[in-house]
Chains A and B, each alone.
Chain A
Amino acid sequence: MSLFANFSITPRQFGDAISDVLPALRRALTAAIVPILGVVMFVVVWTIAAGSIQTSLGQFPNPASVAQQTVNLYQEHQAEREKAEAFYQRQIERNAARLAKDPNYPAKIRPYTGKATFIDQIQTSLITVLAGFGLAAAIAIPFGIMIGLNKALYTATNPIIQLFKPVSPLAWLPLVTMVVSALYTSDDPLFAKSFVNSLITVTLCCIWPMIINTSVGVASINKDWQNVSRVLRLPPLVHIKKIVLPAAIPSIFTGLRLSLGIAWMVLIAAEMLAQNPGLGKFVWDEFQNGSSQSLSRIMTAVLVIGLIGYLLDRVMLQLQRLLSWNKASAQR
């Protein structure tokens, strides 16, 4: 497109336009290219380092083997789905044949008895972490608001919170397992015991940052807004709904985002020990198997865990933007 043909622009104006556009162009390119360069550098360093580490299970996995295993895991998932289809098909046929001989047979379709694939395990992990996180939020946010508003309550509970905050999930897990075993007894449980164990462990570990951040956010509401509430004599629940919550949202969400990050990390450890069929169990099983593909598959799981953690954080950020009245507080 010839600028000079269709518009009457002087070379000088053109020069000005270019010098305006260039810095913007440079900024855009920097924003796009530099991260890519960073990733490329990382991959190069990783490949070189992996080539020089020999373990008893084979060479340390490099990007190529991880890519290979990603494909393998997906193909295994497909194959398992096909097996599941065949399983259901056989069940239907077998039930039909049985009913032909014995009409009183209470035919039912049983879920597939084969193994959970990598994709299934990702699903289980996500469900467990969101359930644990949801339970923690349901407890922590009201509790945090309460102790944020009441100084006496805060001073009373603070020592307990500070005491339990640094406790690792691996220390909680045996206790949780014993308690769940004793209390959650049922012949046909809705949730597997391993699921309940992992869930409760996640809750116990990620509840503390939520409580602390919520209470701090609530306690440090702008004095002016509190005065407005007092002047208008707002009833307590309206005060919380109209003044406290909107003001404390940035802090609450900081707490939620921190907690979600912690919950995701804790989950992987809890799953390894509680044998909940998620990503943690995948890593543990691969390590126990000790095959030549094990390390690559574990590395693949590590990257997937990181990616999911990142995505969860981004989702929380979007949620924060949606719920914040002050959009500027939810930038990064």
Chain B
Amino acid sequence: MLHKLSFHKLTQRAAQRIKTVHSTGLVCCFALLMNNHAIASADQALGYPEKEELTLGFIKLTDMAPLAVAYERGYFEDEGLYVTLEAQANWKVLLDGVVDGRLDGAHMLAGQPLAARIGYGTKADLITPFSMNLNSNAITVANDVWQKMKPHLPTDTNGKIKHPITADALKPVIDDYQRQGKRFNMGMVFPVSTHNYEIRYWLAASGIHPGFYAPESGDTSGLIDAQVQLSVTPPPQMPATMEAGTIKGYCVGEPWNQQALMKGLGVPVITNAQIWRNNPEKVLGLTQAFVERYPNTTIRLTRALLRATKWLDENNNANRVAATKLLAQSQYVGADAEVIASSMTGTFEFERGDKRAMPDFNVFFRYNANFPYYSDAIWFLTQMRRWGQISEDKSDQWFEDVARSVYRPEIFKRAVQSLIDDKLLHASDFPDVLSQDGFRAPQSHFIDGKTFDARKPNAYLAQFVISKTAGIKQVNKLRSEPVDMTLE
């Protein structure tokens, strides 16, 4: 609407050129047909995109980088896609945008397509063919909370605080609040966000109850029996909400943890990579209808994003500084370049002055980060069951069926194969990705030492003490007698 004057001139210019090209094109085409039938181009194997103009939504977080990079470096255009990237106000607006078609797709929380499929929240058939990144989140607490936690933290021989910082040091602070009759509030970004499950995991690993959901009785607050009250705040508003005192800490993606540190509002205490090493984070969320209607477009979207994530992790994060400059532009993340660089370029700053090497704070391509593993989906589903968002016990087969309906590695494999055929990426970039069955080997790098085997989700759930599936007596330290928490 706004570039009307120049746009009009350009359309005129373009129309003239297309007319001349059209006629030359006809001549060329004729000649080609006469001489050469087999036009050896992978585009023929893949086919042009059915829908060329796309609008993709994102939230202002550094892990929207694959979208920004694919746009700015022309990877979308190489696929014949004309993409408009639109920042969304919060995760709810983003989800609604994809579901009702205002957005063709989005940078989505991994839990969103899964929750939509099972009908927790808005019910919709969303799928994902592409995992955008691993790790990328952290938990930050307010300055006064940090000061109270610090004396309880073990230090190593150099006097540096030992990492990972468990929530054990937070327990006395929470007990203190409860004694004074005050609520201890913390924030996360969405009820089915990775952040919600990560902060709950971290708290529960130290015996702190983060609250249950009871959607079967209409209670979707997640506050039942909670010692820490978790609430939703959009990511860019996290530091301000903590400054206002509404929450005493939060789990969010970058740059909102380093931002709080730089503004003197709080201290990051743990990254989600320290809670679960190389955990899945964002995905490319699309509707099933879109994928069925525009299969080539979906594959081409995946291809463009794959090239972007490869660039981001190339040569040991060599391009991260350039990526930081890109993200600092106001239409992408907009925070200061140095705040973004603080987590994107190989380090992460905890307390002021305590910078630790963390080259894997953001993983965009390494370790098969982009493969949409069923096992990742199943982990999120187990956590939904653990906290009660899924209200009944489900069979192991149910978990796998839901994962298979949402996560689509076959589209990913198709995209990888076509990129290799087009010589845009090498087969060596994807070690045995094409033979993957969609399940990672059992993972045990969790902060509480438990092992997750996606083929046995119920056995995994049974390991947890603080869980809706735990049919044992729960002892709450501040209550005088044990409370029977058996569930039917």
A290 engages B264 (CB within 8 Å): no
Asked if B216 is at the interface of the complex by the 8 Å CB criterion, the answer is: no
A289 engages B334 (CB within 8 Å): yes
B236 engages A96 (CB within 8 Å): no
Query: In the assembly, what is the distance between CA of A144 and CA of B329, in Å?
Result: 48
Query: In the assembly, what is the distance between CA of A84 and CA of B5, in Å?
Result: 13
What is the 8 Å Cβ interface bit string for chain A, positions 81-115, against chain B (1 contact, 0 not)? 10010001011101110111111010101111111
* Interfacial residues of chain B within 31-83, with CB under 8 A of chain A in the complex: 39, 41, 43, 48, 52-53, 60, 71, 74, 77, 80, 82-83
Asked if A286 is at the interface of the complex by the 8 Å CB criterion, the answer is: yes
What is the 8 Å Cβ interface bit string for chain B, positions 8-23, against chain A (1 contact, 0 not)? 0011011001100110
With beta carbons under 8 angstroms apart, the residue of A56, A102, A112 that contacts B48 is A102
Asked if A291 is at the interface of the complex by the 8 Å CB criterion, the answer is: yes
A90 engages B77 (CB within 8 Å): yes
Most B CB atoms within 10 A — which of A103, A115, A285, A288? A288
- Contacts A95-B18, A109-B11; A103 near B25 (Cβ below 8 A): yes
Closest A residue to B28 using CB positions: A100
B335 engages A88 (CB within 8 Å): no
Most A CB atoms within 10 A — which of B10, B11, B259, B265? B10
Measured between beta carbons, the chain A residues less than 8 angstroms from B6 are 81, 84
A107 to chain B, nearest CB (A): 5
- Contacts A57-B263, A90-B77; A285 near B334 (Cβ below 8 A): yes
A178 to chain B, nearest CB (A): 13
A56 engages B17 (CB within 8 Å): no
Measured between beta carbons, the chain B residues less than 8 angstroms from A91 are 14, 82
What is the 8 Å Cβ interface bit string for chain B, positions 300-343, against chain A (1 contact, 0 not)? 00000000000000000000000000001111011110000000
Asked if B89 is at the interface of the complex by the 8 Å CB criterion, the answer is: yes
Query: In the assembly, what is the distance between CA of A275 and CA of B29, in Å?
Result: 47
Query: In the assembly, what is the distance between CA of A56 and CA of B243, in Å?
Result: 10
A277 to chain B, nearest CB (A): 8
Query: In the assembly, what is the distance between CA of A99 and CA of B6, in Å?
Result: 24
Query: In the assembly, what is the distance between CA of A91 and CA of B18, in Å?
Result: 11
Asked if B486 is at the interface of the complex by the 8 Å CB criterion, the answer is: no
Measured between beta carbons, the chain A residues less than 8 angstroms from B265 are 56
With beta carbons under 8 angstroms apart, the residue of A56, A90, A291 that contacts B328 is A291
- Contacts A112-B3, A123-B2; A290 near B259 (Cβ below 8 A): yes
A275 engages B89 (CB within 8 Å): yes
Chain B contact residues, majority secondary structure = mixed
B350 to chain A, nearest CB (A): 20
Asked if B191 is at the interface of the complex by the 8 Å CB criterion, the answer is: no
Q: Which interface class (under 10, 10 to 19, 20 to 34, 35 or more) fits B?
A: 35 or more
Measured between beta carbons, the chain B residues less than 8 angstroms from A98 are 48, 80
B264 engages A56 (CB within 8 Å): yes
- Contacts A98-B80, A99-B25, A291-B334; A88 near B14 (Cβ below 8 A): yes
Query: In the assembly, what is the distance between CA of A277 and CA of B333, in Å?
Result: 17
A87 to chain B, nearest CB (A): 8
Query: In the assembly, what is the distance between CA of A104 and CA of B485, in Å?
Result: 68
* Interfacial residues of chain B within 230-267, with CB under 8 A of chain A in the complex: 236-237, 239, 243, 259, 263-265
A289 engages B80 (CB within 8 Å): no
B462 to chain A, nearest CB (A): 43
Interface residues in A, total, Cβ within 8 A: 40
Measured between beta carbons, the chain A residues less than 8 angstroms from B52 are 110
A289 engages B236 (CB within 8 Å): yes
* Interfacial residues of chain A within 241-294, with CB under 8 A of chain B in the complex: 275, 285-286, 288-292, 294
Closest B residue to A286 using CB positions: B330
Query: In the assembly, what is the distance between CA of A94 and CA of B77, in Å?
Result: 9
Measured between beta carbons, the chain B residues less than 8 angstroms from A115 are 329-331
Query: In the assembly, what is the distance between CA of A203 and CA of B82, in Å?
Result: 35
B78 to chain A, nearest CB (A): 9
Closest A residue to B82 using CB positions: A110
With beta carbons under 8 angstroms apart, the residue of B28, B80, B82, B333 that contacts A113 is B82
B96 to chain A, nearest CB (A): 11
Asked if B478 is at the interface of the complex by the 8 Å CB criterion, the answer is: no
Query: In the assembly, what is the distance between CA of A294 and CA of B236, in Å?
Result: 14
Asked if A116 is at the interface of the complex by the 8 Å CB criterion, the answer is: yes
B89 to chain A, nearest CB (A): 7
A285 engages B3 (CB within 8 Å): no
B10 engages A88 (CB within 8 Å): yes
Asked if B463 is at the interface of the complex by the 8 Å CB criterion, the answer is: no
Asked if B7 is at the interface of the complex by the 8 Å CB criterion, the answer is: yes
B14 engages A113 (CB within 8 Å): no
A289 engages B2 (CB within 8 Å): no
Asked if A124 is at the interface of the complex by the 8 Å CB criterion, the answer is: yes
Measured between beta carbons, the chain A residues less than 8 angstroms from B1 are 124, 192
Query: In the assembly, what is the distance between CA of A95 and CA of B330, in Å?
Result: 30
Most A CB atoms within 10 A — which of B21, B52, B60, B89? B21
With beta carbons under 8 angstroms apart, the residue of B3, B80, B237, B259 that contacts A84 is B3
B333 engages A96 (CB within 8 Å): no
- Contacts A123-B2, A288-B60, A290-B239; A109 near B330 (Cβ below 8 A): no
Asked if B441 is at the interface of the complex by the 8 Å CB criterion, the answer is: no
Asked if B84 is at the interface of the complex by the 8 Å CB criterion, the answer is: yes
B16 to chain A, nearest CB (A): 10
A282 to chain B, nearest CB (A): 9
- Contacts A100-B29, A110-B82, A290-B239; A124 near B2 (Cβ below 8 A): yes
Query: In the assembly, what is the distance between CA of A124 and CA of B21, in Å?
Result: 35
B53 engages A110 (CB within 8 Å): yes
- Contacts A57-B263, A102-B48, A109-B11; A96 near B18 (Cβ below 8 A): yes
Measured between beta carbons, the chain B residues less than 8 angstroms from A110 are 52-53, 82
Query: In the assembly, what is the distance between CA of A102 and CA of B33, in Å?
Result: 12
Measured between beta carbons, the chain A residues less than 8 angstroms from B71 are 113
Measured between beta carbons, the chain A residues less than 8 angstroms from B264 are 56
B335 engages A96 (CB within 8 Å): no
- Contacts A90-B77, A94-B77, A111-B7; A103 near B330 (Cβ below 8 A): no
Query: In the assembly, what is the distance between CA of A291 and CA of B255, in Å?
Result: 11
Query: In the assembly, what is the distance between CA of A94 and CA of B265, in Å?
Result: 49
Measured between beta carbons, the chain B residues less than 8 angstroms from A90 are 74, 77
A119 to chain B, nearest CB (A): 9
Closest A residue to B101 using CB positions: A187
B100 to chain A, nearest CB (A): 9
A289 engages B335 (CB within 8 Å): yes
Measured between beta carbons, the chain A residues less than 8 angstroms from B29 are 100-101, 103
Query: In the assembly, what is the distance between CA of A95 and CA of B25, in Å?
Result: 11
Known interface pairs A99-B18, A100-B29, A289-B236; 14 further A-B residue pairs with C-beta atoms within 8 A, sorted by A's residue number: A84-B3, A95-B21, A96-B17, A98-B48, A99-B25, A105-B48, A109-B14, A111-B3, A114-B331, A123-B2, A286-B334, A288-B237, A289-B334, A291-B330
CB-based closest 8 A-B pairs: A289-B334, A115-B331, A96-B21, A113-B84, A99-B25, A56-B263, A120-B2, A288-B236
**28 examples of A-B residue contacts, CB within 8 angstroms:** A90-B74, A96-B25, A100-B28, A100-B29, A101-B43, A102-B48, A103-B26, A103-B29, A109-B7, A113-B71, A113-B82, A114-B331, A115-B331, A120-B2, A120-B3, A123-B2, A124-B1, A124-B2, A285-B330, A285-B334, A289-B330, A289-B333, A290-B236, A290-B334, A291-B330, A291-B334, A291-B335, A292-B336
Residues of A bordering B, CB below 8 Å = 56-57, 81, 84, 88, 90-92, 94-96, 98-103, 105, 107, 109-116, 120, 123-124, 192, 275, 285-286, 288-292, 294
